[in-house]
Amino acid sequence: MAAREELYSKVLPRRLRQNRSGSAKCSSNLDVLLSMGFPRQRALKALASTGGRSVQAACDWLFSHVDDPFLDDPLPREFVLYLRPSGPLQNQLSHFWQQSRIACGKNKAHNVFPHITLCQFFMCADHKVESLCEALQTTVQQWRGRFPSPLPLELYTSSNFIGLFVKEHVAEVLKQFAADFGTEAARKAEVHVEPHKKQLHVTLAYNFPTDHLATLEKLAKGIEVKLGCDWLAVLFSRDIRFANHETLRVMYPYTPQNEDEMELVVGDFVFMSPMDQSNATEGWVYGTSLASGLSGLLPENYVGLADESDTWVFHGERRMFVGLLDSRHHDTSPGDTPTVSLICHPVQVLRITGNHTRQPKRSFFVCRHGERMDVVFGKHWLSLCSDSKGRYVRSNLNMPLTLPLWGAQRDYDMDAPVTVFGSTQSQLVGEALLEGNIVIDFVYCSPALRCVQTAQSILKGMQQDGKLKIRVEPGLFEWTKWLSRNSLPAWIPPADLAATHFSVDTTYRPLIPIGKLTVSESYENYMSRSHQVTKEILSDCKNTGNNVLIVAHASSLEACTRQLQGFVPRSAKDFIQGVRKIPYLGLCSCEEQGNSGQWRMVDPPVLPLTHGPNHSFDWRETLLHE
Cα separations in angstroms, 325 against 151, 345, 482: 16, 7, 66
Active-site position among 127, 249, 345, 369: 369
Cα separations in angstroms, 161 against 205, 307, 322, 356: 6, 19, 34, 20
Per the CB < 8 A criterion, the answer to whether 269 and 310 are in contact is: yes
For the beta sheet containing 547-552, the strands, ordered from the edge strand earlier in sequence to the opposite edge, are: 470-472, 442-445, 547-552, 363-368, 587-592, 599-602
Active-site position among 196, 529, 553, 562: 553
Query: For residue 601, how far is the Cα from the chain centroid?
Result: 17
Q: Angle 2-11/55-64 helices, nearest 10 degrees?
A: 130
Per the CB < 8 A criterion, the answer to whether 113 and 311 are in contact is: no
Q: Is the peptide bond before 39 cis (omega within 30 degrees of 0)?
A: no
Per the CB < 8 A criterion, the answer to whether 626 and 591 are in contact is: no
Cα separations in angstroms, 354 against 86, 205, 223, 351, 596: 21, 18, 7, 10, 28
Active site annotation includes 53? no
Give the dihedral sign, CA 348/349/352/357. negative
Q: Which residues contact 222 (CB under 8 A, 6 or more apart)?
A: 96, 354, 355, 356
Per the CB < 8 A criterion, the answer to whether 75 and 241 are in contact is: yes
Q: Which candidate, 214, 206, 17, places its Cα nearest to that of 112?
A: 206
The amino acid at residue 137 is: Q
Q: Which residues contact 229 (CB under 8 A, 6 or more apart)?
A: 85, 86, 87, 88, 89, 90, 151, 346, 347, 348, 349
Cα-atom radius of gyration of the chain, to the nearest Å? 28
Q: Which candidate, 406, 277, 364, 382, places its Cα nearest to that of 587?
A: 364
Q: Which residues contact 58 (CB under 8 A, 6 or more apart)?
A: 29, 33, 43, 46, 47, 50, 52
Q: How far apart are CA 465 and CA 134, in angstroms?
A: 52
Active site annotation includes 368? yes
Per the CB < 8 A criterion, the answer to whether 227 and 87 are in contact is: yes
Active-site position among 368, 372, 450, 529: 368
DSSP for 575-621 reads HHHHHTTPPTT-EEEEEE-TTSS-EEEE--SS------------HHH
Q: How far apart are CA 274 and CA 56, in angstroms?
A: 35
Active site annotation includes 146? no
Sequence-ordered strand ranges (E) for 326-371: 341-342, 347-348, 363-368
**600 phi-psi bin (left φ>0, alpha ψ -120 to 50, beta other):** beta
Q: How far apart are CA 164 and CA 166, in angstroms?
A: 7
- Give the residue numbers annotated as catalytic, written as ranges: 368-369, 553
